[in-house]
Amino acid sequence: MFWEVVRYTPGLFALDLVLQLFRSGIPLIPGLIVREVLNELSDGSSVDGAVDTAVWLLLAFLVGAVLARLTALLFCVAVDETCEARGQGLLVRNGFSRILAAPGAQRPRHARGDLVSRLTGDSRSVSQVVVYTFMVIGAGFQAALALVVMFSIDPLVTLVVCVPMAAGGVLITIASVRIRKYHAQSREAAGDVSAFLGEMYNSVRTIQLGNAQSRVLGRFRELNESRRRRTLKSRLFTDVFLGSVWTNTSTLATGVVLVLAAQGFGSGRFTVGDLALFVVYVGWTSDFTALFSQNLALFKQSAASVKRLTDAVPGPPDELVAHRVPDVPEPERVALSRLSVTGLTHRFDGGGGVSEVDFEVARGEFVVITGRVGAGKTTLLRTVLGLLPRQAGTVTWNGTEVDELVPPLTAYTPQLPHLTSETVRDNILEGLPADRRHLDLAVHSAVLERDLSALDDGLDTLLGPKGAKLSGGQAQRVAAARMFARDPELLVFDDVSSALDVDTERQLWERLFARAGVTCLAVSHRRAAFERASRIVVLRAGRVHAVGTLADLLAGDAEMRHLWQADTRQSAMAQE
Amino acid sequence: MSRSIALLRQYLAPHWRKATALAVLVLLNAGLSVAIPLMLGRFVDTAQTGGEVRALLVIAGTFIGLTLVNQVIVSTAAYHSEDLGWLATNRMRADLVGHTLDLDQDFHQRHTPGELIERVDGDVTTLAQFFSSFVFHVLGNTLLAIGIVVASFFLDWRIGLVLLTFGVAAVLVLRRTQHVAVPYFTALRQTNADLSGFLEERLAATEDIRGNGTRNHVVGRLTGLLDELTRSMRRAGVASRASSSALELSVALATVGILALGSVLLGAGTMTLGALYVGYHYAGLLSMTLFKISYRIDQLQLAVASVGRIAEIHDRPSAVVDGPGADLPAGPLSVAYRDVSFAYTEGKPALREVSFELAPGETMGLLGRTGSGKTTVGRLLYRGQDAGAGQILVGGVDVRELTLEQLRSRVAVVTQDVRLFAASVRDNLTLFDDTVPDERIVAAIAEVGLAGWLDALPEGLDTPIGEGGGALSAGESQLLAFARVFLGEPDVVILDEASSRLDPATERLTQGAQQRLLAGRTAIVIAHHLATVRCLDHIVVLDDGRIVESGRREHLTDDPGSRYSALLAGVGA
């Protein structure tokens, strides 16, 4: 998976690698220059008072090298961030497309907040690790280069210096298991505190009435104390232990250089410039050890992120890194003459669903699906549209089997539509070209014009989170306008009038049937719908109980009579 | 700021020994950090003047020794400053929790649990970081920076001058560049929030998206957001390096300055190579130190904001306070409301001149539509809030004369909203009171008909039950709430009856426990089931905060014109 992220933008990552090498290589130059300057100065016996022009030149070089390094650094950071964002973007886009490719009404395996955090957070950590690895490669290059330079100056000192650094690296790697364990424990203790606070503030009345304030406080103190102890333990390992190992390896190495240099100085084998260079280069090299072991830890963590991602996203894991996501093809418009549903079945694991449902909708008809609560009305609509998988049975459009019904064949208004926080216009159009007349027509059909004029900015009103600005009935009609705007062959809507007042409902039906040649399939339990229906399909416990015109059913079917009566009572209450 | 210092003093004072020890360690650390590079200078000078290898080895040994000692000091100080931060702020957390637990219902209705957690834990943690980092990093590093400059003056006043100039320049550069990145980070956070918001909304709307064929459009929008994310990340990444880049450049200039100075003076023989080397080393150390200070000083602003929010809660008085205390007679208590009025918001009275009396042991059913004020009647009795006008007497004493503990040890409330803790069955029933003997707890559980349930628990009373009562059914939770009341042995019970969310079988079970609970106690039952009311002595019907009907139940039942008998007949139910 990591490799595929690199291969998605190969040019970018190649550029990143080159820049990493520059960014890491250039910092070595000042060390060399300082060494030269110090060496030049230390055997200054030859010069009397006047400063060698070579020294000035070297100092100018020093400033140049730092400027070059900063340029390389800033470019490199820009490319690093771009690489990271591209990698994350790839995973987010693919993951999201995969989720959208699953049947639309199927409940995802994970809670939404969790899904969002997996899609954003976990894909970031995967992508981060890739970029981080490139950084480690750069740092490795730097360390290798530093070792080569040091080796060329004094092989013995270099070899001896490597010992404490290697030991430090091993120590850090070994300790990282412990560190993670303690870190997890301290996070857990912190979680306990927050959880207890949450329970406590949700139960303030219970606590106050039970005179339990002081005892609850005692409990809170205990949890706090446990968090303090665990956090300290974790800190002891990360800050104190790791910090010590880290600083000590490089200072110990410096100490070793001093001890070894003590002999070399006498013989002139080792100079002050060499000492300065070794002190700086030892620092760079031990940075690499630390970076490397950190990367190992990150790599392990990101393996968990990969798993969390692939768990959350349906479909094979390698599709998560697919480089191209083709657009979903839109079906061609085929004028509806007959929609046939045969033997359609979708059963839920926990019970419920629909079984072996047959019915037909011919052009120009208005077919109503009805039944009591839990009879399977919504499930039936969803299964017909392909929003839930069909476990058995077929749906045909003019005799041709179709898997999924979408515009321009059908458009759909769910029972509880989910609008976005954008403007009313965006919610209705959702990507359609913004044709004013077309939009007005959809608004008219959905009886929205009065509501729109009451909103501050009309069609341009931002709906806010969860469509906060709209009532339930308004949200349903915005969704209906979205359906009308698609001008489909067949309108499919679920209980669209349930949250409407009597007047608006009447207008909605009138305008619907004023549309030329309209064909509808609707779930409803309203008399107004029954009265206009060409045919009514009565569901009972997931099966077709009866089919017929209102008059036939009222005459011959007790269930239908019950449903008809139920609506009288409801409207009586609504009018009260 | 003065408020922060007052808080700092208040909560650090008890730990003054630790704080003093810490200050000493910080001082030692700064001193050693200044001294160690001097060893390197000595080493270079000794070597340069052809000193003996032995002398060089001694210096090298001292260098290693001092480095190790310094590391021990740093580690100890880091550990203890962390500890100090937690000790001090844990007390602050406890004080805040204690205070908020005593605050009135009105406060808790205005502040969500999430918000309070953020104050008590989030803001206090920011403050803890400030305590430990300010004391340790800012003070320690400031000392170190001053130490470096002073030491360099002793070393050679000209090096001192270069470093002082560099230090002042670096501080100016840091202050200037530090906030360059802030707007870019704000933008990045916004882009990330937009992305999460977009995903969250679209994941909720998969049915709408698929049913209306807008998949391509939605994925296209996402791609646009991701492109924006790329731009934001790039900008923020580069901007975030502004400060350190500027600093790196000024370090390079300082290094060049010192080397140039050295090359002039060394030639003239007025400076040793060792001093030059130390100056070079100090330049790097000083820049690192200043960078750390400027990084930490930002937390100061966060901490000040946190202190403001903490103080706001800390200083909020409770609208309901203890009365002076009074003696209540033993046994069941009488309850009387005299012309009680109350409004949650001014001008919109929730109760208007409500009056009724209950003799000890009498029970009353409170009926009325949602919003008629039934719950408020109960809330005023246990002083969730105080009546605006009129008087409420329990056992002949005004409730405001009693301490809250006196009142609430005699008055109990059961609602359908049962709150359980992620704790053992025992702790949930006693609310963490260890002094209640097990036999009493078991008896209370048996009293509500859960003896069988208790026997089935793997660890008996010690069995943990989850947050929000995870493994418990709604009925079991309700019964445990009854058991809590049995344990408290109250003399007045306010029962906000559970509604239809229980299944019929469980409902029968709770009805039984409810009857036993009311026996021998004065009770106000906010009723949803007429079945419960049928066993009560009095009936009061509320409408829009006013009593529209009251009387003994049997009188109302016999009066065919009463609202109660209309309810019994099933009209308008």
Give pLDDT, residue B474. 67
Residue A464 tokens read as 């806010």
Report the C-alpha gap between B210 and A492 in whole angstroms.
Answer: 13
Question: Given CB atoms, is A254 within the 8 Å cutoff of chain B?
Answer: yes
pLDDT grade for A550, boundaries at 50, 70 and 90: very high
Nearest partner of A133 among A9, A245, A5, judged by Cα = A5
Beta carbons of A346 and A379 less than 8 angstroms apart: yes
Give pLDDT, residue B502. 57
Q: In terms of CA atoms, which chain A residue is nearest residue B490?
A: A210
Report the C-alpha gap between A154 and B38 in whole angstroms.
Answer: 25
The ipTM, to two decimals, is: 0.87
- Which residues does chain B have within 8 Å of residue A251's beta carbon, measured at their own beta carbons? 64, 67, 71
Report the C-alpha gap between B365 and B524 in whole angstroms.
Answer: 6
The Cα of A116 is separated from the nearest Cα of chain B by a number of Å equal to 6
Report the C-alpha gap between A469 and A458 in whole angstroms.
Answer: 12
Residues of A (263-302) whose Cβ lies below 8 Å from B:
263, 265-266, 272, 275-276, 279
Report the C-alpha gap between A470 and B555 in whole angstroms.
Answer: 49
Give pLDDT, residue A570. 47
Question: B210 and A105: CB-CB below 8 Å?
Answer: yes
> Which residue of A188, A208, A323 to mutate against B (max B Cβ within 10 Å)?
A208
The Cα of B226 is separated from the nearest Cα of chain A by a number of Å equal to 6
Q: Which residues pair with A62 in a beta bridge?
A: none
pLDDT single digits (tens) A47-84: 454 557 788 888 899 899 989 989 999 999 999 999 99
Report the C-alpha gap between A127 and B226 in whole angstroms.
Answer: 14
Question: B245 and A70: CB-CB below 8 Å?
Answer: yes
> Helices A213-235 and A155-202, interaxial angle, to 10°?
170
Give pLDDT, residue A573. 35
Pick from A313-327, A535-549, B304-318, B493-507: least confident = B493-507
Beta strands in A363-449 (DSSP E): 366-371, 392-397, 400-401, 410-413
Beta carbons of A570 and A499 less than 8 angstroms apart: no
pLDDT grade for A430, boundaries at 50, 70 and 90: very high
Give pLDDT, residue A50. 55
Residue B278 tokens read as 């130390």
- Which residues does chain B have within 8 Å of residue A49's beta carbon, measured at their own beta carbons? 267-268
Q: In terms of CA atoms, which chain B residue is nearest residue A330?
A: B213
Q: Dihedral sign, CA of B207, B213, B219, B221?
A: negative
- Which residues does chain B have within 8 Å of residue A412's beta carbon, measured at their own beta carbons? 208, 211-212
* Interstrand relation of A543-548 and A410-413 (parallel, antiparallel or unpaired): unpaired
**Higher pLDDT, residue B126 or A452:** A452
Say if residue A155 is preceded by a cis peptide, omega within 30 of 0.
Answer: no
Question: Given CB atoms, is A215 within the 8 Å cutoff of chain B?
Answer: yes
Beta carbons of A175 and A242 less than 8 angstroms apart: yes
Q: How far apart are the first and last CA of chain A?
A: 62
DSSP 8-state assignment for residue A391: S
Residues of B (297-336) whose Cβ lies below 8 Å from A:
none
Report the C-alpha gap between B217 and B197 in whole angstroms.
Answer: 17
Q: Dihedral sign, CA of B515, B516, B519, B525?
A: negative
Return the number of other C-beta atoms located less than 10 Å from residue B50's C-beta.
8
Beta carbons of A491 and A521 less than 8 angstroms apart: yes
Q: How far apart are the first and last CA of chain B?
A: 61
Question: A231 and B82: CB-CB below 8 Å?
Answer: yes
Give pLDDT, residue B466. 64
Residues of A (115-174) whose Cβ lies below 8 Å from B:
115-116, 119-120
Q: Which helix (H) or strand (E) holds A346?
A: strand A338-347
Token pair 């894909």 is found at A123
- Which residues does chain B have within 8 Å of residue A492's beta carbon, measured at their own beta carbons? 211
Report the C-alpha gap between B375 and B370 in whole angstroms.
Answer: 9
DSSP 8-state assignment for residue B548: E
Report the C-alpha gap between B253 and B356 in whole angstroms.
Answer: 87
Vertex A514 angle, CA A512 and A520, to 5°: 40
- Which residues does chain B have within 8 Å of residue A92's beta carbon, measured at their own beta carbons? 195, 199, 222, 226
Of the candidate CATH numbers 3.40.50.1400, 3.40.50.10320, 3.40.50.300, 3.40.470.10, the domain formed by A338-575 belongs to: 3.40.50.300
Side-chain half-sphere CA neighbours of B131 within 13 A? 31
Question: Given CB atoms, is B410 within the 8 Å cutoff of chain A?
Answer: no
The Cα of A553 is separated from the nearest Cα of chain B by a number of Å equal to 31
Question: Given CB atoms, is B408 within the 8 Å cutoff of chain A?
Answer: yes
| pLDDT greater than 60 at residue A439 | yes
The residues near B522 (Cβ < 8 Å, ≥ 6 apart) are B332, B333, B334, B335, B358, B359, B360, B361, B362, B363, B491, B492, B493
Report the C-alpha gap between A519 and A362 in whole angstroms.
Answer: 8
Give pLDDT, residue B571. 46
- Which residues does chain B have within 8 Å of residue A206's beta carbon, measured at their own beta carbons? 419, 431
- Partner residue facing A205 (CB), from B105, B199, B259: B105
Give pLDDT, residue B500. 42
Return the number of other C-beta atoms located less than 10 Å from residue B565's C-beta.
14
- Partner residue facing B44 (CB), from A93, A272, A465: A272
Residue B490 tokens read as 């109250």
Residue B365 tokens read as 């059913």
The residues near A553 (Cβ < 8 Å, ≥ 6 apart) are A536, A538, A546, A560
Pick from A105-109, A274-278, A341-345, B220-224: least confident = A105-109
Report the C-alpha gap between A296 and A288 in whole angstroms.
Answer: 12
DSSP 8-state assignment for residue B514: H
User: Domain coordinates of chain A in residue numbers?
Assistant: 1-153+303-323, 155-269, 338-575
The Cα of B346 is separated from the nearest Cα of chain A by a number of Å equal to 24
Question: B226 and A92: CB-CB below 8 Å?
Answer: yes
Could you give phi then psi for residue A545, rounded to 5 degrees?
-90, -40
- Within A203-315, where are the H helices? 204-209, 213-235, 243-267, 272-312
Nearest partner of B502 among B482, B522, B523, judged by Cα = B482
Beta carbons of B430 and B487 less than 8 angstroms apart: yes
Return the number of other C-beta atoms located less than 10 Å from residue B262's C-beta.
28
Q: In terms of CA atoms, which chain A residue is nearest residue B421?
A: A199
Give pLDDT, residue B332. 87
Domains delineated in chain B:
1-156+296-319 (1.20.1560.10), 335-568 (3.40.50.300)
The Cα of B372 is separated from the nearest Cα of chain A by a number of Å equal to 18
Token pair 């859960």 is found at B450
Beta carbons of A381 and A354 less than 8 angstroms apart: no
Question: Given CB atoms, is B90 within the 8 Å cutoff of chain A?
Answer: yes
* Nearest 10 degrees: Cα torsion B272, B277, B283, B285: -130
Question: B208 and A99: CB-CB below 8 Å?
Answer: no
- Partner residue facing A431 (CB), from B63, B204, B217: B217
Question: Given CB atoms, is B433 within the 8 Å cutoff of chain A?
Answer: yes
Beta carbons of B563 and B532 less than 8 angstroms apart: no
- Order of strands across the sheet with B389-394? B348-358, B335-345, B389-394, B397-398
Question: Given CB atoms, is B260 within the 8 Å cutoff of chain A?
Answer: yes
Return the number of other C-beta atoms located less than 10 Å from residue A283's C-beta.
16
- Partner residue facing B98 (CB), from A102, A198, A217: A217
Question: A258 and B59: CB-CB below 8 Å?
Answer: yes
* Interstrand relation of B546-552 and B538-543 (parallel, antiparallel or unpaired): antiparallel
Beta carbons of A430 and A467 less than 8 angstroms apart: no
Report the C-alpha gap between B153 and A243 in whole angstroms.
Answer: 31
pLDDT tens, residue order, chain B (573 aa) = 677 677 778 888 888 898 899 889 989 999 999 999 999 899 888 888 877 888 889 999 999 899 889 888 888 888 888 888 888 889 989 999 999 998 888 888 778 777 788 888 888 887 877 777 776 678 888 999 999 999 999 988 999 999 999 999 988 888 888 778 888 988 998 898 889 889 988 998 999 999 999 999 999 999 999 999 999 999 999 998 888 888 888 888 888 888 888 888 887 778 888 898 899 889 988 988 888 887 777 677 777 778 888 888 888 888 888 889 888 888 889 999 999 999 887 777 889 999 999 999 999 999 887 668 888 898 899 988 888 889 999 999 999 999 998 999 899 988 777 788 888 899 989 999 889 999 999 999 998 888 888 888 888 888 888 654 445 766 778 888 889 988 988 999 998 865 444 555 566 777 788 888 888 899 999 876 676 777 889 999 988 889 989 889 888 888 888 888 877 775 443
pLDDT grade for A569, boundaries at 50, 70 and 90: very low
Q: In terms of CA atoms, which chain B residue is nearest residue A42?
A: B273
Nearest partner of A426 among A453, A452, A456, A461, judged by Cα = A461
Q: How far is CA A115 from CA A92, A311, A500, A575, in A?
A: 11, 10, 34, 43
Percent of chain A, pLDDT > 90?
39
DSSP, collapsed to helix, strand or coil, labels residue B160 as helix
- Which residues does chain A have within 8 Å of residue B68's beta carbon, measured at their own beta carbons? 248
Question: B280 and A276: CB-CB below 8 Å?
Answer: yes
- Order of strands across the sheet with A400-401? A353-362, A338-347, A392-397, A400-401
Give pLDDT, residue A233. 87
Question: Given CB atoms, is B412 within the 8 Å cutoff of chain A?
Answer: yes
- Partner residue facing B101 (CB), from A97, A216, A330: A216
Report the C-alpha gap between A157 and A166 in whole angstroms.
Answer: 15
DSSP states along B253-312: HHHHHHHHHHHHHHHHTSS-HHHHHHHHHHHHHHHHHHHHHHHHHHHHHHHHHHHHHHHH
> Which residue of B45, B133, B263, B406 to mutate against A (max A Cβ within 10 Å)?
B263
Question: Given CB atoms, is A531 within the 8 Å cutoff of chain B?
Answer: no
Give pLDDT, residue B1. 61
* Nearest 10 degrees: Cα torsion A442, A448, A454, A457: -20
Q: Report how many Cβ contacts below 8 Å link chain A to chain B.
A: 378
Question: B203 and A99: CB-CB below 8 Å?
Answer: yes
Give pLDDT, residue B573. 36
Question: Given CB atoms, is A399 within the 8 Å cutoff of chain B?
Answer: no
Q: In terms of CA atoms, which chain B residue is nearest residue A242?
A: B75
**Higher pLDDT, residue A247 or A187:** A187
* Interstrand relation of B411-414 and B492-496 (parallel, antiparallel or unpaired): parallel
Q: How many residues does chain B have?
A: 573
- Which residues does chain A have within 8 Å of residue B209's beta carbon, measured at their own beta carbons? 100, 104
- Partner residue facing A203 (CB), from B105, B215, B419: B419
Question: Given CB atoms, is B369 within the 8 Å cutoff of chain A?
Answer: no
Round the average pLDDT of chain A to a whole number and report it: 86
CA A178 from chain centre, in angstroms, equals 30
